[in-house]
Amino acid sequence: MQPHLLTVLTFLPLLGVPALLFLRSEDHTWIKRIALAVSLAEFVISLFLIRGFVTANPGYQFEEIHPWIGSAIRYHMGVDGISLFLVILTTFLVPISILASWQGIHEKVKGFFIALLVIETAMIGVFVSLDLFLFFVFWELTLIPMYFLIGIWGHDRRIYAAVKFILYTMFGSILMLVAILWLYNVSGSVQFASTFDFPELQARLHAGVMHLPPNTEMLLFCAFFLAFAIKVPLFPLHTWLPDAHTEAPTAGSVILAGVMLKLGTYGILRFCLPLFPDAAHRAAPVIAVLAIIGIVYGALVATVQTDLKRLVAYTSVSHLGYVVLGIFAFSTISIQGAIYQMLNHGVSTGALFLGVGMLYDRRHTFEIKQFGGLATPMPVLMAFFLFACLSSLALPLLNGFVGEFLILIGVFERHHAWASWAASGAVLSAIYLLWAYQRVALGEVTVEKNKTLPDASTRERVILVTMALVILFMGVASPLFTRRMEPATNVLLEQMTGRAQNANRPAPPATSAERTSVPAGAATFKTEAARVRP
C-alpha cells in the first residue's frame, strides 16, 4: 500500500459513496455506520503517513506520478512537513463530524453523508496535489459538497449563505485559474516544455531557467493570493464567512472552520511563497496590516455578537489573521507557528462548533440570551465547552498557546510593531470567549426550559473527550509536530531568500534536482514543445 498511500487516502472516501448509494434511503442506522466506518478506516490509514514519514527529509514523500492529460498535466501527489498534518487533521475531523451528525440530521440522511465523504476526498486531494491542474480540480471540487451541506441541511438563511459562499470562492479561484495558465505558458522555454508540475516549476524558478518579470510576478501573486485570501478569509474579504458558518449544520461548520479555511492558508504557504517570493516580500507589509486588522476586528466583532455560533465564526477571522501574519513574517519559527496554529484552529474551533451544535440540538437556537447558567443542568458539557474556549484563547499547556506563541515570537523578531498589535488579539480573545462562556454557562438558570436539559450523552462524551485529549496532547507534545515541519519550512525559506537576494548568482543545486522524474520528464517534453507551440 505504501507506494499508493496517497491515492488510497484520497479516493477511499469516494469508494464509500457507491456503498451508501446501495443502501435504502430509510436505513439511517446503516448509512451512518458505513459512513463512520469508512471515515475511521481513512483515519487509521492516514496514520501510516506519520509512520512512514521521514522526518529529516525536507522534500516530498509518498510521491506518485502518472501521466494524465497530454504530457503537461500529470497526476502528481506527495506530502511534506507542511501538508502532512493537515491531511491528518482532515481525516480526524471527518469522523468526528459524522459522529456529531448522528442525531441532528433527519432529512436526506444519505445525501448528507455522501456529501461529507465527497468533501473529504476533495480536501485531501487539495493537500496532496503537486500538479497545479490537479490541485485546481480538487480545489473547485471542495465547493460543491459544501454548497449542498449549507444549502440543504443548514439553518434559516441557508440558501443565501450557500450562494454567497460559492460565488465568493469561485470568483477568487477563477482568477487563480487564469494565473495557473499564465504560469504554464511562461514556464516553457527552448529546452523545457511548459508544465503544470509544481516541484518542476519551483525547480525552474529556483535555477533561474524560468524568469518572471517583477510586474508579472506581482500580478500572478495577486491572482493566487486573492483566491487563497478569500478562502482564509483575510479582512476585508471575510464577509461570506459569518453567514456560511452560522447557517451551516454543525458538521458543515466543523469541516468549514476546521479544514476548508486551511486550504487558503495552505495555498499561500505552498504556492504563493515559493512561486512568487519577491512579490510576497513586496506585498508582505500590506498583507500583514490586513492580517492585524483582521485579528483585532474579528475579535471586536466577536465580542458584540448575540448569536453564539456567529461569535465562534468571527473568532476564525481573528485566529486566521494570526496564521497569515505568521506566514508573512518569513521566519522559521513564525511559519512553523502558523502551520501549528492551522492545526490548532481546526481542533479548537471544531470543538467550539461541536459544543455549540450540541446546545443547538437541545434548544434549537444560538441566541446567547436564551442560555445562561447552563453549567447547572449540564456540568459535563459545559466543562468541555470551557476547555475548548481555553484552548481557543491560548491558555498555556493547551494547543492554542503553542501556535500563537511561536507566531508572536517569530513576528516580534522581524517587526516589533506587528507583534505588539497582534498580541492585543490574545487579550481580546480572552475577553470575548470568557464573557461568552460566562453568559452561557455561569450564574442562575435564566430560562425555565433550560433547567431540565439533559447533559452530554455517551456519544457526545466520546466526541468531547477525544477533542479534549487532542487539545491537551497538542499542547504538551508540540515538538512531535514541529520537528516534522521544520525541514520543509527551512527549505521553503531558503528558497525564498535565495531567490529574493541573489537573483543573478548561480543557483545552488535545487532540492528537486535529485528528483529522478525531472530529467526524464524534461526530455520527453522537448519534442512536445516543438509540436505544440507554433
Partner 1 sequence: MQISAEQLANLYRLAPEIILCATGILIMVLDPFVGPARQRALGYFALAGTIAALFTIRLAAIDPGLAYSGLIRADAFSVFVHVVVIGAAAIAILGSYEYLDDEGLQRGEYYALVLFATAGMGILAGANELVTAFIGLEMSSISTYILAGFRRRALESNEASLKYFLLGSFATAFFLYGIAMTYGATGTTRIDAIQAAFQITPPAGLAILGLGLMFVGLGFKVVAAPFQIYAPDVYQGSPTPVTALLASAPKVATFAVMVRIFYVAFGTSSDLWFWAVWVSAVLTMCIGNFAALVQTNVKRMLAYSSIAHAGYILVAFAAATDLGVAAILFYLASYALMKIGAFLVLSHLGQQGEKRLEIQDYGGLGSKQPVLAACFALFLLSLLGLPATGGFLGKFFAFQAALDSRVVWLVVIAAINSVIGAYYYLRVIVAMYFWEPSKDYVPTPVAASLATALAVCAVGTLYLGILPGRVLSLARAAADSLTVR
60: three-class secondary structure by DSSP: coil
Of the pair 163, 423, the CB lying nearest partner 1 is at 163
Residue among 54 and 171 whose Cβ is closer to partner 1: 171
Q: Out of 14, 17, 45, 163, which residue is the one contacting partner 1 (CB under 8 A)? A: 163
Tell me which of 148, 198, 384, 418 binds partner 1, using CB under 8 A.
148
CB count within 10 Å of CB 191 equals: 12
User: Judged by CB, which is closer to partner 1: 108, or 414?
Assistant: 108
d(Cα 331, Cα 321) in Å, to the nearest integer? 16
Q: Which candidate, 481, 323, 473, 465, places its Cα nearest to that of 398?
A: 473
Binding mask 212-251 for partner 1 (x = CB under 8 A): ----------------------------------------
Which letter does DSSP use for residue 502 in this model? -
Task: Tell the smallest beta-carbon distance from residue 154 to partner 1 (Å).
Answer: 9
Answer for which of 34, 166, 229, 287 binds partner 1 (CB under 8 A) is: 166
Sites for partner 1 among residues 301-360 (CB under 8 A): none
Report the Cα 233 to chain-centroid distance in Å: 11
- The interface with partner 1 within residues 184-203 (CB under 8 A) comprises 184-185
- Taking the C-alpha atoms of residue 315 and residue 107, their distance in angstroms, rounded to an integer, is 30
First to last CA, the chain: 43
- Distance (Å, whole) CA 512 – CA 199: 7
Binding status of residue 480 toward partner 1 by CB under 8 A: no
Q: How far apart are CA 227 and CA 271, in angstroms?
A: 12
Question: Among residues 52, 171, 416, 479, which is the contact residue for partner 1, using CB under 8 A?
Answer: 171
Stretch touching partner 1 by CB under 8 A, among 173-181, 310-318, 328-336, 380-388: 173-181
Of 17, 23, 181, 442, the one binding partner 1 by CB under 8 A: 181
Residue 464: its H or E element: helix 458-476
Closest to partner 1 by CB, 25 or 191: 25
226 versus 254: smaller Cβ distance to partner 1: 226
Per-residue binding string, partner 1, 413-432, x by CB under 8 A, is: --------------------
Size of the site for partner 1 (CB under 8 A): 33
CB of 468 to partner 1, least distance (A): 36
252, 260 Cβ separation under 8 angstroms = no
Kindly state whether residue 140 participates in binding partner 1, applying the rule CB under 8 A.
Answer: yes
Contact 441, 373 (CB under 8 A): yes
Using CB under 8 A as the binding rule, whether residue 530 contacts partner 1 is answered as: no
| Nearest-approach distance from CB 152 to partner 1, in angstroms | 6
CB atoms within 10 A of CB 449: 10
Rank residues 159 and 417 by Cβ distance to partner 1 and give the closer one.
159
Alpha carbon separation from 312 to 272, 315, 345, 429 (Å, rounded):
28, 5, 11, 11
Position 43 contacts partner 1 (CB under 8 A): no
Closest by Cα among 42, 161, 50 to 97:
42
Question: Exposed, middle or buried, 278 (CB in 10 Å: 0-12/13-18/19+)?
Answer: middle
Residue with cell 525531472: 518
Q: Which helix (H) or strand (E) holds 431?
A: helix 416-441
Q: Which is nearer to partner 1, 225 or 371 (CB)?
A: 225
In whole angstroms, how far apart are CA 173 and each of 245, 272, 448?
Answer: 20, 14, 49
Residue number, 506 or 534, with CB nearest to partner 1: 534
Does 532 participate in binding partner 1 (rule CB under 8 A)? Answer: yes
Residue whose grid cell is 517587526: 415
Give the largest Cα separation in the chain, rounded. Answer: 78
**Is 136 near partner 1 (CB under 8 A)?**
yes
Q: Is 33 in the site for partner 1 (CB under 8 A)?
A: no
Q: Of these, 116, 152, 342, 419, which contacts partner 1 (CB under 8 A)?
A: 152
Q: Which of residues 59-78 bind partner 1 (CB under 8 A)?
A: 68-70
- CA 249-251-253 angle, to 5 degrees, is 70
Stretch that binds partner 1, among 9-17, 147-155, 370-378, 385-393 (CB under 8 A): 147-155
Strand 61-69 versus strand 73-79 pairing type: antiparallel
Q: Which of 170, 293, 300, 493 binds partner 1 (CB under 8 A)?
A: 170
Binding of partner 1 by 162 (CB under 8 A): yes
Q: Give CA–CA dist 369/383, Å, rounded.
A: 20
Closest to partner 1 by CB, 119 vs 324, is: 119
CB nearer partner 1, residue 147 or residue 340: 147
The residues of the shown chain that bind partner 1, judged by CB under 8 A, are 68-70, 108, 136-138, 140-141, 144, 147-148, 151-152, 158-159, 162-163, 166-167, 170-171, 174-175, 177-178, 181-182, 184-185, 532-534
